[in-house]
Amino acid sequence: MDNPLSKIGARGLLPSLALSYVLLGALGLLLGEPSPLFPPAGLALAALLWFGNRALPGIWVGALVLNLGLHWMGKPWLGDGSTLTLVATAATIATGASLQGWWGSWLIRRWQGGAWRALARVGDILRFLLLGGVLAGLVSASIGIAGLGAIGQIGVTDFAFTWWTWYVGDVIGILVFAPLTLALLEGRDPRWRDRWRHIFLPLPIILALGVMAFHGAGQWEGEERQARLGQVGEAIARDLDNRLHTHREVLSALRYFIEVKPDLSFAEFERFTRATLADNPDLLALNFNPLVKAAEREAFEARMSQQVPTGHFQILERDTERRPVPAGMRPEYAPVTYIMPWEPNQAVLGFDNFSEPVRRAAIERVSNHRRLAVAAPIDLVQETARRTGMLEMLPVGDHQATDAAGLPRLLGFVVGVVRMDQLITLATQGKVPAGLQLQLTETARPGAEEGVIYRPDDFPGPSGATRHPGDQWRGHLRVGDRDWHLTLSATPAYLRQHRSWAAWGVGMVGLVFAALLQILMLGYTGRAHQIQLQKADLEADEAELRGLNVSLEGRVATQTAELRATRDRLKAMIDALPDLMFLVDREGRILEYHSATSEHLYLTPDAFLGKTIREVLPGGGGRDHHGRPGGGRPAGSAPGRNLCPADDPGSLVVRTLDRGHGWPGPPRRSPDHAGPRDHPAQRGGGAD
């Protein structure tokens, strides 16, 4: 495999490294911030080992762009501070990433020398990962967490978990991607080419399994959190529905009371509603708004002035500055008349509901459908501060008269004014765990945008705390003629409190397994390559030995042939000698013999071989080859014996040689020796 990265010049190194860092970082951060698997950490270490310190600018720029880009793309990684604060924080994180790579490369060069280029032995691999990963990984996590803590993005309770996740992500990124990057840079080395086939091609599958384990654990954790949110949300929805049902019962009772006694007095209205309001603190007010024709306005205002505690009644509306002014001319009015409690609500006495669009729309719906109608969220007129409320309206009819549609003539409306914050407080009291936030929205008509009914000031917006679908629960409520949506969202504090270490651990085990498997495969392939080199050396030595053996065999064959020729010549010479020769040991025992013909033998070989001369010859006599009795011999001559009787002048004289004088050629026995009776010595013959 060619090495295109090693051909990058000084100008192309910075953008190439920065782009690679950003792309790998974006992939890693898909798993979370900080990521449990951060590939750029391995890229930075390998690049600084290969290119040296000239790789530092590319790493720093890549880390800076990555962190700023993620923030500007909507991930609240760096907080919500000013642009200067964001850039400073991102620069701090980039500096930590660069220093981590530099320190790791320095440790490896200092304590490992050039062994990082091959990583052939398991010991070299473990030292590489210990120095460049486990030790160097402390730098980026510590500097990055310190920078985020300085701007308040990470609290004290989050410090340990975030630091540990950051550290583990960098270490696993180094374990997996540093060797992979070195394989790209060392593409010409045959050791790394073999590793591509055996390790790095299956690596995506291994990593995919690890990421799937982590993702599956996260999904499981999200489902568990979603189930808990659902239980809380459903309980709140039931209580909200119960509260609203109570409101409907209250309004229905008030409507029936007015329909039975349409000419009730102000005091009677106060007595009827006093206990109800005390039992329902979320009801800001209960009132009756009669329908008044324009022609009846003056008489109606005069009659009501005699009943209200202030002694003066006038149909009013609000100007642009929310000040009460006399209502303008319109065909019909729906002024607030009877209202309780009186003291906090007397400011709205006489307010015409037709003068405000939201109230007018609710009146039109309740008039058309003759059932409960709920107005869209409004700013309460009774409140000096801006406060959201809701109007619940029921029609009041005159059952003694009908309109053109045959329905009871409409007298007016009973209205319940609901304070939304108090309603939520009563419905959620003791049911919402700390860290969960509730929001109520509504869709007035199909296709319309949701309007906010209730939302706390610190509820997360589009770029707020909620980052995953499992961090929210949505439910539906039918309120009168409107559809409400209840949203329960988990804040970062809630997520920290309910963090699942088990799910995080399962994902970590999968990623660590992938890293360890790669370490084992690196060691295996390095050892296999060493064995191949040793095998090649042994094969070369074996070939050399075979050559030497062939040469030696040739020399041995030549010398053997020469020795065989010499032996044959000596044998031929001995065979040509007429003498009878015996080979005896120092004790006189006959070991071998030589005879040109069997006629020279006095006895058969079986009779004298292995025996001494004295045991063979009758009387133990004999003389040597000089004719002297006994076994004497002149100095320097070979010993000899005469195997014939001493008085036989024609006896056979034989020369004997012991082992010390050697024997020229192999011993020889006559195959055609004659028996004792046929021997010439028995016939009186002799030989010399």
Residue-wise pLDDT for 408-442, tens only, equals 888 999 999 888 888 888 888 877 777 788 888 88
* Torsion angle of C-alpha atoms 421, 423, 427, 431, degrees rounded to 10: 10
Q: Which residues of 561-590 are buried (b: 16+ CB within 10 A; e: fewer)?
A: eeeeeeeeeeeeebeeeeebbbbbeeebeb
Residue-wise pLDDT for 158-178, tens only, equals 788 788 888 888 888 888 888
377 vs 313, more confident: 313
407 vs 678, more confident: 407
Cα 669 to Cα 563, 595, 596, 598, 673, distances in angstroms: 22, 7, 9, 9, 9
Round to whole Å and give the CA distance between 572 and 560: 18
684 vs 447, more confident: 447
Identity of residue 136:
A
Round to whole Å and give the CA distance between 180 and 173: 10
Q: What pTM, to 2 d.p., does this model score?
A: 0.57
Round to whole Å and give the CA distance between 367 and 362: 9
Residue 170's nearest CA partner among 53, 31, 35, 23 is 35
Top mean-pLDDT range of 101-115, 395-409, 611-625: 101-115
Return left, alpha or beta for 535; rule: phi > 0 is left, psi -120 to 50 is alpha, else beta. Answer: alpha
Location of structure tokens 């409400």: 484
Q: Are 354 and 333 in contact (CB under 8 A)?
A: yes
Q: Of the given ranges (73-77, 120-124, 489-493), which has the lowest mean pLDDT?
A: 73-77
- Beta carbons within 8 Å of 248's beta carbon, 6+ residues apart: 372, 392, 394
Top mean-pLDDT range of 45-54, 510-519, 673-682: 45-54
Location of structure tokens 């990421």: 211
pLDDT band with cut points at 50, 70 and 90 for residue 129: confident
The 8-class DSSP code of residue 429 comes to T
Location of structure tokens 């009013």: 316
Residue 273's nearest CA partner among 263, 288, 260 is 288
Residue-wise pLDDT for 362-388, tens only, equals 888 888 888 888 887 776 655 555 567
When pLDDT is averaged across residues 294-321 and rounded to a whole number, the result is: 90
Q: Of the given ranges (24-33, 57-66, 565-574), which has the lowest mean pLDDT?
A: 24-33
Top mean-pLDDT range of 180-184, 269-273, 505-509, 656-660: 269-273
Runs of H (alpha helix) within 186-305: 190-195, 203-260, 266-279, 297-305
Round to whole Å and give the CA distance between 652 and 684: 12
Strands (E), 357-407: 373-374, 378-379, 388-402
| 3-class state of residue 593 by DSSP | strand
Location of structure tokens 């239980």: 231
Round to whole Å and give the CA distance between 349 and 336: 5
In degrees, rounded to 5, the angle at the alpha carbon of residue 385 between the alpha carbons of residues 383 and 388 is 70
Here the tokens at position 140 are: 């980026």
Round to whole Å and give the CA distance between 431 and 420: 17
Which residues does residue 474 pair with via DSSP β-bridges, in sequence order? Answer: 487
pLDDT score recorded for residue 140: 92
Q: Does residue 657 surpass a pLDDT of 50?
A: no
- Beta carbons within 8 Å of 274's beta carbon, 6+ residues apart: 340
Q: Does residue 292 surpass a pLDDT of 60?
A: yes
- Beta carbons within 8 Å of 661's beta carbon, 6+ residues apart: 638
Round to whole Å and give the CA distance between 289 and 295: 17
Q: Does residue 94 surpass a pLDDT of 60?
A: yes
Burial class of residue 647, CB neighbours in 10 A (0-12, 13-18, 19+): exposed
Burial class of residue 167, CB neighbours in 10 A (0-12, 13-18, 19+): buried
Average pLDDT along the chain = 77
